[in-house]
Amino acid sequence: MEDKRTETGVAAMAACYQRFDPAAYLQYNYTPPRADFERKDSIVPWKLACLHRAFTEGDVSGELLVDIGSGPTLYQVLSGCEVFNQVLLTDFLEVNREELRHWLQGEGGCSLDWTPYLQHVCKLEGRRPSAWTEKAAKLRQVITDILPIDVHRPQPLDSDVLPSDGADCLVSCFCLESVSPDLPAFTRALGHIGRLLRPGGHLLLIGALGESYYFGGPGVKIPVVPLSEAQVCASLSESGYTLIRLEVYTLPQDMRVGVDDVSGVFFVKARKD
Ligand code: SAM
């Protein structure tokens, strides 16, 4: 009975995503005020600082980084691309994979200019902002593929795309809670993606706190599992991860721009047991 309910919920989520609009989503979440590089309390600089710190502490290393549910965005791999020789991007929707391919091929047609993001991460790395062209080239060199994924499948990626012991690191931002119909499905998805990670490998997870919906385009209201910090910690431990650090960002009033009802954001660094 419960399996049937979850199956129906997962199918309903997949149906919601058929109207996802990458350009609108980028406009809602990845332009000012949410991406204001002059402000320390803007949400995107906060996320970039968390990722920069996590990737430069020295414990995250290896050959292969996989980003789970990339959507149409690149910000989440701008620090990791300096540490890993190979980066795989993944998403459920072809429209998002297409958006990422536009950037990767460098032939224009992108819905967002990632230059200020590249410049900002260069600054975090102590490089001159003009080094952004080198970072863009590096990113294009290390991203070797953009693959379909479904975190609700026990085997989220095709079986032959990863080495047999799994990736060295996973990053995933705002994916699991916004594609799961309920908390058990979120926890299960966390377990499914863990199968892509080698034992001892790291998971860097960013997600929404207290969010019940977001807009994936004009009139495209997508339900989200509202999470608390305690639920995130319990789901991690249930799914075979040891928490290293949890950081929380609370949205300032002027960051609540009517495209969702998110109240905060968590950043997790964890290790697979
Ligand atoms: N990672 C991006 C970010 O940080 O903005 C995008 C997050 S967006 C809220 C959620 C993403 O999950 C969308 O790109 C969507 O296509 C993807 N998605 C939807 N269903 C999925 C599924 N079953 N498995 C994996 N990803 C899914």
49 Cα to the center of ligand 1, angstroms? 22
Sequence-distant (6+) residues with CB within 8 A of 143 are: 77, 81, 87, 88, 89, 104
Q: Which residues make Cβ contacts (< 8 Å) with residue 94, sequence separation at least 6?
A: 148
Q: Is the CB of 92 under 6 A from ligand 1?
A: yes
pLDDT at 2: 58
DSSP string, 207-239: EEES--EEESSTT-EEE-----HHHHHHHHHHT
Q: Tell me the pLDDT tens digit for each residue of 58-76.
A: 999 999 999 999 999 999 9
Q: Which two tokens stand for residue 125?
A: 């790395």
Q: Whose CA is nearest to atom 14 of ligand 1?
A: 71
SS (H, E, C) 157-201: CCCCCCCCCCEEEEEEECCHHHHCCCHHHHHHHHHHHHCCEEEEE
Pick the CATH number of 1-272 from 3.20.20.70, 3.40.50.150, 3.30.450.40, 3.40.50.1950: 3.40.50.150
Taking the C-alpha atoms of 15, 177, 198 and 6 in order, what is their torsion angle to the nearest 10 degrees? -50
Predicted pLDDT at 211 = 98
111 CA to middle of ligand 1, Å?
Answer: 17
Burial zone of 148 (CB within 10 Å; 0-12 exposed, 13-18 middle, 19+ buried): middle
Where do the structural domains in the chain lie, given as residue ranges? 1-272
CA of 27 from ligand 1 middle (Å) equals: 16
For the chain (length 273 residues), average pLDDT per consecutive 10?
77 97 98 95 97 97 98 98 98 98 93 97 96 98 98 96 96 98 97 98 98 98 98 98 98 95 98 96
Are 156 and 68 in contact by the 8 Å Cβ rule? The answer is yes
**What number of CA atoms fall less than 13 Å from residue 22's CA on the CB side?**
22
Identify the pLDDT of residue 5: 73
* Gap from CA of 87 to ligand 1 centroid (Å): 17
Report CA(93)–ligand 1 centroid distance (Å): 8
Give the torsion sign (CA, 132, 138, 142, 148).
positive
Residue 77 DSSP label: G
Q: What is the pLDDT of residue 260?
A: 98
30 CA: nearest ligand 1 atom: 5
- Is the beta carbon of 173 within 6 A of some atom in ligand 1? yes
Return the best residue to mutate from 7, 10, 17 for the ligand 1 pocket (most ligand atoms within 8 A of CB): 17
Does ipTM top 0.95?
A: yes
H or E element in which residue 116 lies: helix 115-124
| Cβ atoms < 10 Å from Cβ of 5 | 13
Residue 209, ligand 1, Cβ within 6 A: no
Q: Is 28 annotated as a binding residue?
A: no
- 160, 161, 165, 171: CA torsion to nearest 10: -150
* Most distant CA pair in the chain, distance: 58
Is residue 225 within 8 A of residue 232, CB to CB? The reply is: no
